Each structure stands twice: as C-alpha cells, then as structure tokens.
Copies of this chain bind each other. A is one copy, B any other.
Amino acid sequence: MVRKEDCLKQIREVIDGILSTVDEEGNPQSRVIDIMLIDEETVYFLTARGKDVYKEIINHPQVSYLNLRANKSVRITGIAKKLDNQKEWIDKMFEENKYMNNVYPGDARYILEPFYIEKGEIEFFDLTQKPILREKFTIGNWEIKEKGFLISEECIECGTCQDLCPQKIIKEGSPFEIAQNHCLHCGLCYENCPSEAIHRIE
C-alpha cells in the first residue's frame, strides 16, 4: 500500500522529473524540471521568465509532471500556479537546493519564478509488482478522472476476458469485474468481449 506522502517523497528524493505543457499551437512540450520543495499536500518548482515553459504555464496552467525511479512512476496532472512573495520563495528554494547556485549564481536567481501545483491528481504506477499497481490521490479541490474499462450487466460470464487479460486481474462474478488498481488499460478484454459488455470509462 503506497501513500500520498510516499509519492511526494519519491518526487523530492529523485528531484528531477519531466514537466509537460502545451504551447501556443496546442502541441505538447516537455523538459526536465527539478522539484525544489514538497509539503504534505503538493510540490514546488521554479522556471525562468525567459523560457517558453514559463509562457506556456501562464497561458495554459494545466500541466503534467512525471517522476520515475526504478520502474515506479509518480505523475501529477493538475493546475500550476505562481506563488506570491516571489523573492522569499526563491530564497527558500535556493537554501534547500544549494546546487541551484551553480546554474543561477548571485542575484541571477531572481529571473526565476516560483510555482506550485494548486490542485490536481497524483497517480502512482508500479511496474515492478505483479500485477502492476496504480493508486490515485488528490491535491486540493480536484475530481479524479477515472480511466480504463468497466464490465457491465450485459456480461454473459463466459470468461473470455479473464483468459485474455495479460495481468490476470479480472474476477469472476455477475458481472465479471476488473481490478481497476491493477489494470494496464490495454483494451484486450474490451476488443474481445463476445457480448460487447465491456465499456471504456469516459
């Protein structure tokens, strides 16, 4: 059982992860961003005002952040927001991350802008477990978007899905049931159900 604090701890220990944004043309952009601080609820980071990523977050605040360590990923999908008291936050972040002075020595640090994730969802995904494991947590006021597939009452209990499932995580029943926390979302059950009883969660 993984907890939200374990996810935040991984993010801080690994430090660098990938922040994805969308640009003015609606295309995805990504780059390495270090997480400078965490607390019980969220993560804090910096970027420079001259960078495209700064403009992108301001224009379109929904971002995706992904951190990976030894086949366990922690992903945050949510809204990035600028922090007030800019200088105070920058100084605190540099105090806790002294290596930042090698990149932005002296007062150069003030070209940076501090951000945090105001609200969103954290997804932990562990590929080392069999079956794989997913866990979701929220940051702030956010409705988690479920993904994957559901088996409906149209299920004829034939067992086709159970046999095909690469992770073997479909349980018998009326209807059969997908263990959502262990599902790859591959779609093999969905494509092969003879009674079309399996639906994509929208």
Contact = CB atoms under 8 A, between A and B. Distances in A.
A26 interface: yes
A111 B187 contact: yes
A164 B68 CA distance: 35
Interface stretch (A3-11, A48-56, A82-90, A151-159): A48-56
B18 A103 contact: no
A79 to B, nearest CB: 10
A82 B50 CA distance: 36
Interface stretch (A29-37, A135-143, A169-177): A29-37
Nearest to A192: B111
Interface residues of A, number: 54
Nearest to A63: B28
A187 to B, nearest CB: 2
A42 interface: no
Contact of A21 (B28, B104, B108, B127): B28
Nearest to A25: B62
B18 A18 contact: yes
Nearest to A110: B188
A144 interface: no
Interface in A56-72: 60, 62-66, 68, 71
A184 B103 CA distance: 9
A103 to B, nearest CB: 7
A155 B49 CA distance: 22
A92 interface: no
A48 B103 contact: no
A193 to B, nearest CB: 12
A185 B103 CA distance: 12
Nearest to A29: B64
Nearest to A103: B166
